[in-house]
Structure 1
Amino acid sequence: MSTIKTKDGVEIFYKDWGPKDGQPIMFHHGWPLSSDDWDTQMLFFVQRGYRVIAHDRRGHGRSAQVSDGHDMDHYAADAFAVVEALDLSKVFHVGHSTGGGEVARYVAKHGQPSGRAAKAVLVSAVPPLMLKTAGNPEGLPIEVFDGFRKGVADNRAQMFLDVAAGPFYGFNREGAKVYQGVIQNWWRQGMMGSAKAHYEGIKAFSETDQTADLQAITVPTLVLHGDDDQIVPIADAALKSIKLLKNGTLKVYKGLPHGMLTTHADIINPDLLAFFTS
């Protein structure tokens, strides 16, 4: 397996496909998944001459199941460790859900200062803040995330099946075409990871206020979101993010779910390509 070691000694698994002199695209996965969630996108772009990179977040997939560091700062620093180890420059960074939060923190804190980030894409992403607070009344109440924590602690295996078979891909909607393989693959990826990382990661994706990250980003940024996202509601995410970005473009997909990069890759991939070549 291809791995790098972070400054705090955590082994991070990564994939690196395509020509070493190709334009690099780095993909950042969502909770509680792994780099495998990007296989469709990685194959699409490597076949078009790009160099595609994806890593498993600490505690997820094939990366080390360490006890600590399950927060957005460590997520971004780990991604930067991969970029530095591979000596990537002018990278296009694409993040889904929690991975979108990772991209926002990475670009703001590491990518722009180092000059290694050229463009960013936030897909169904969690910024600026998911949690309902006095200053963010449109957010989701803490009870929603406490329910996620309880599900992970009580019966993670069943919870992961329920999420994948229901709201994540919109399979709970009337008339939806249900892909059993997609459900099983989501479950497989989730169960590869650490329950502790998943439990603590809920706080990271729900309570991290990334307003300042978005305001700091100056590279061209594409924000993609489905208006039927049942996991990260668009009104509290993309519609707010686009107002905070200095150089952002928003595209809303009518009726598409949170996991649209998988269920509707035939739509998402060409839109990513158009942004990368613009």
Structure 2
Amino acid sequence: MVRNKSISQLASTSRRKVLASALIYATSLTVRSSSATGKEKDSSTFPAQRTDPMTSVTTKDGVQIFYKDWGPKSAQPIVFHHGWPLSSDDWETQMLFFVGKGYRVIAHDRRGHGRSSQVSDGHDMDHYAADAAAVVEHLDLRNAIHVGHSTGGGQAARYVARHGKDRVAKLVLISAVPPLMLKTEANPGGLPIEVFDGLRKQLAAGRSQFYLDFASGPFYGFNRPGAKASDAIIWNWWRQGMMGGANAHYDGIKAFSETDFTEDLKSITVPTLVLHGDDDQIVPVADSAPLSAKLLKRSTLKIYEGLPHGMCTTHADLINAELLSFIAA
């Protein structure tokens, strides 16, 4: 039975409040950088404001996009697109797994997220896809598999549809936001705008506590009866979220909820794997994965009983095996 409890029904959590020491640590991180003389100097700033030119690309509108690039340059590349409000760090389990299988793995921090520039504009799917294209072109990636989770699924779909000609071999959408999350006359099964207004209100009121509650509850299904919460998973989610810019995350809610990917999906011709959990409390399955699979020309749909939105983390072994089977086929 599919359960579609919306994200407006965030369960109250009894998790401990954010430790003051964690906040002090996060805001006083010391970044080591090399001076022109080759000596190291200290600067107290967030890593998101300082990127290594060897691991970043500057977009046409002047935004620095941080990326990770592991594995043999001659190997087939797998490009990972992360969810809101996280960073490329969210893919480390998958990246380690696939680099161990001989693939080249790449993941970048979306603008305003992680270690990429905290800019004031461009927090929309068109810019997200163009930024991904800048990374792909900078590294000259071809015959690539693109894997997107949640908001990253929308980003990946738009990238493949608008920028991926002759560069993409396959696409994977995991717990992804397409075709459209928002309830409209044409999409009656979507979530009402009040849900997303509520997210914006909670973020603006205090995103540190909001992020802690979000990770402690519906994102990983830790609010379900009998679920065993993992402090390590929760705090890693919170850490990634707090690395990014509040403005980017605020505007990103509109990007992931109100963007219609229908035409993008219709135009994609590469084989596409669509994975979703039927207990996804963030992107309800009934109005997402099956509809995307119908719009795609060459899709394979798999829905997992009882799995949450963050199943790439909670059930990494299962998801990694599914990805490997699809990629290697």
Q: Deviations over 1:11-50 (max 9, x none)?
A: 0000000000011000000000000000000000000100
Q: Map 1:88-127 to 2 at 5 A.
A: 88-112=141-165, 115-127=166-178
Shift of 1:152: 1.1
What SS does the aligned partner of 2:164 have?
helix
Q: 1:136 aligns with which of 180, 187, 194?
A: 187
Q: In structure 1, what is the Cα distance between the partners aligned to 2:326 and 2:69?
A: 22
Is 1:174 the counterpart of 2:225 in the alignment?
A: yes
Q: In structure 2, what is the Cα distance between the partners aligned to 1:245 and 1:98?
A: 18
Q: In structure 1, what is the Cα distance between the partners aligned to 2:167 and 2:124?
A: 22
Q: In structure 1, what is the Cα distance between the partners aligned to 2:196 and 2:168?
A: 32
Is 1:19 the counterpart of 2:67 in the alignment?
A: no
1:213 matched residue in structure 2: 264
One-letter identity of the residue aligned with 1:77: A
What SS does the aligned partner of 1:273 have?
helix
Shift of 1:167: 0.2
Identity %: 74
Q: Unpaired runs of 5+ in structure 2?
A: 1-51
One-letter identity of the residue aligned with 2:148: G
Q: 2:321 aligns with which of 267, 270, 274?
A: 270
Q: TM-score by structure 1 length?
A: 0.99
Is 1:54 the counterpart of 2:54 in the alignment?
A: no
Q: In structure 1, what is the Cα distance between the partners aligned to 2:321 and 2:186?
A: 37
Q: Deviations over 1:161-204 (max 9, x none)?
A: 01000000000001112111000000000000000000000000
* Cα-Cα RMSD: 0.5
Q: In structure 2, what is the Cα distance between the partners aligned to 1:77 and 1:235?
A: 29
Is 1:241 the counterpart of 2:241 in the alignment?
A: no
Q: In structure 1, what is the Cα distance between the partners aligned to 2:265 and 2:112?
A: 26
Q: In structure 1, what is the Cα distance between the partners aligned to 2:86 and 2:280?
A: 18
One-letter identity of the residue aligned with 2:89: D
Q: Deviations over 1:55-102 (max 9, x none)?
A: 000000000000000000000000000000001101100000000000
Q: In structure 1, what is the Cα distance between the partners aligned to 2:292 and 2:186?
A: 15
Number of residue equivalences: 276
Larger radius of gyration: 2
Shift of 1:138: 0.2
1:71 matched residue in structure 2: 124
2:216 matched residue in structure 1: 165
Shift of 1:123: 0.3
1:190 matched residue in structure 2: 241
- Runs (4+) of structure 1 exceeding 3 A deviation are none
One-letter identity of the residue aligned with 2:171: A
Q: In structure 1, what is the Cα distance between the partners aligned to 2:178 and 2:198?
A: 20
One-letter identity of the residue aligned with 1:41: Q
Q: In structure 2, what is the Cα distance between the partners aligned to 1:177 and 1:20?
A: 40
